[in-house]
Amino acid sequence: MIAAVGPESLVPAPPGARQLEFPGASVVPGLVNTHTHLELTHLAGKNPERDFTAWIRTIRALKDATTPEEFVRAAEQGVRDAWAAGVTCVADTGSTGAAMAALHRLGARGIVYQEVFGPDPAQARASLVELEQALARLGPLTSGRLRLGVSPHAPYTVSEPLYRAVDELARSLGLPVAVHLAESRAETELVREGAGPFAAALRARGIPVVARGVSPVEYLLRLGVLESGDCLCIHCVQVEPADVALLRIAGVAVAHCPRSNQTHAHGTAPLAALRGAGVRVGLGTDSVVSAGDASLWAEAAAAGLEGEEALRMLTIEGARALGLDADIGSLDVGKQADLAVFGEPLTARPPGRPTAALTVVAGRVVHG
């Protein structure tokens, strides 16, 4: 916990305390990454596909070829890469449980949303049972720094009955929810018109497709998923002004991943409109397969942010999006001692991809 903040002349080091000096450096709150896929760290540079549906198929094949031990090693490397980039808190989504295991073993801070898939309504119960088993297995790994949540993946991988069942489960257990939402044009085509590449892929598997006649945001709102009280919506690229208003009314937060959106040619999320409406927004790197690395500063630059505005988005606003701003996101007395030291004045100019000279989580040096 932070006991005092100020110049050494006013806040001298207590007797016996370890003193670290970084002349000319910037001390900032630890950065908050609101969307990662740590278990995919080993796949960086291994998926050249640019068509989104083909990219997803390739990711599935690469995951199928990965052992549980490789997933854990990848997730641990992802945590260390995050620390090297000055990130002290991550919101991770994954299906293997590797990120939860890695974060727990390394004593890291974050929220892990256990993914659940099942586009076939007939398989909803089986998918729910699998999710319940995963939660029972991962639950004992939670701590004051590590929280467990659920993630019904996306409208093209989750049926309506499964969405409803997962929502009910999350509410009963008091778990936070994360959903990939309004990411691609293909997703909007599927939900609104029952058409497009996702619809074709589902029909090819014998899975019924229904045109909902509404946007993905309105669809999940009607199902109650966005009104769980603790919901993180990932991407939100394909949203209209009416959708922004619905997101604000529902009280959700948004994880904005500009480099991933650019990689897959999804378009540009209306960041200014979301923030202007009062929607809580943080920045996320998505997986390194999409973004290339763990640099949140690169995400800020891709979002058109720099200086103090970028720093706020990467710290206190990211913490607020995850509901953690009472504990982290700023260097205030009484908050958890999550901080990073960079060897340059970050508020003076866009910093590119600086490596942290020191990263501290809950008062413990984890990098540097």
The residue type of 21 is: E
Q: What is the pTM of this model?
A: 0.95
The average pLDDT across 16-29 equals 87
In a domain, 257, yes or no: yes
pLDDT above 80: residue 351: no
pLDDT above 60: residue 327: yes
In the prediction, which pLDDT does 284 show?
Answer: 97
Measured CA to CA, the distance from residue 357 to residue 368 in angstroms comes to 5
Per-residue pLDDT tens over the stretch 37-49: 999 999 887 766 7
pLDDT above 90: residue 55: no
In a domain, 16, yes or no: no
In a domain, 247, yes or no: yes
CATH number of the domain within which 355 lies: 3.20.20.140
pLDDT above 70: residue 230: yes
pLDDT above 70: residue 349: no
Measured CA to CA, the distance from residue 221 to residue 212 in angstroms comes to 12
Whether the CB-CB separation of 226 and 233 falls below 8 Å is answered with yes
Res. 294 pLDDT band, cuts 50 70 90: confident
> DSSP readout, 241-278?
HHHHHHHHHHT-EEEE-HHHHHHTT-----HHHHHHTT
Question: Crossing angle of helices 124-138/160-173, nearest 10°?
Answer: 30
CA angle (308, 310, 312) in 5-degree steps: 70
Question: Crossing angle of helices 52-64/196-204, nearest 10°?
Answer: 50
Q: Name the residue range of residue 148's domain.
A: 26-367
Provide the domain count of the chain. 1
Whether the CB-CB separation of 74 and 38 falls below 8 Å is answered with yes
In a domain, 248, yes or no: yes
pLDDT above 80: residue 50: no
Per-residue pLDDT tens over the stretch 156-206: 999 999 999 999 999 999 999 999 999 999 999 999 999 999 999 999 999
In a domain, 87, yes or no: yes
pLDDT above 90: residue 112: yes
pLDDT above 60: residue 348: no
Output helix, strand, coil percentages for the chain, rounded to the nearest 5: 40, 20, 40
Per-residue pLDDT tens over the stretch 124-159: 999 999 999 999 999 999 999 999 999 999 999 999
The average pLDDT across 226-244 equals 94
Whether the CB-CB separation of 296 and 83 falls below 8 Å is answered with no
In a domain, 12, yes or no: no
3-state secondary structure (DSSP) of residue 141: helix
**What is the maximum alpha-carbon separation in the chain?**
71
Q: How many CB atoms lie within 10 A of CB 32?
A: 31
In a domain, 172, yes or no: yes
| Sheet of strand 146-152: strand arrangement | 31-36, 87-94, 110-116, 146-152, 177-181, 231-235, 253-256, 280-283
pLDDT above 60: residue 323: yes
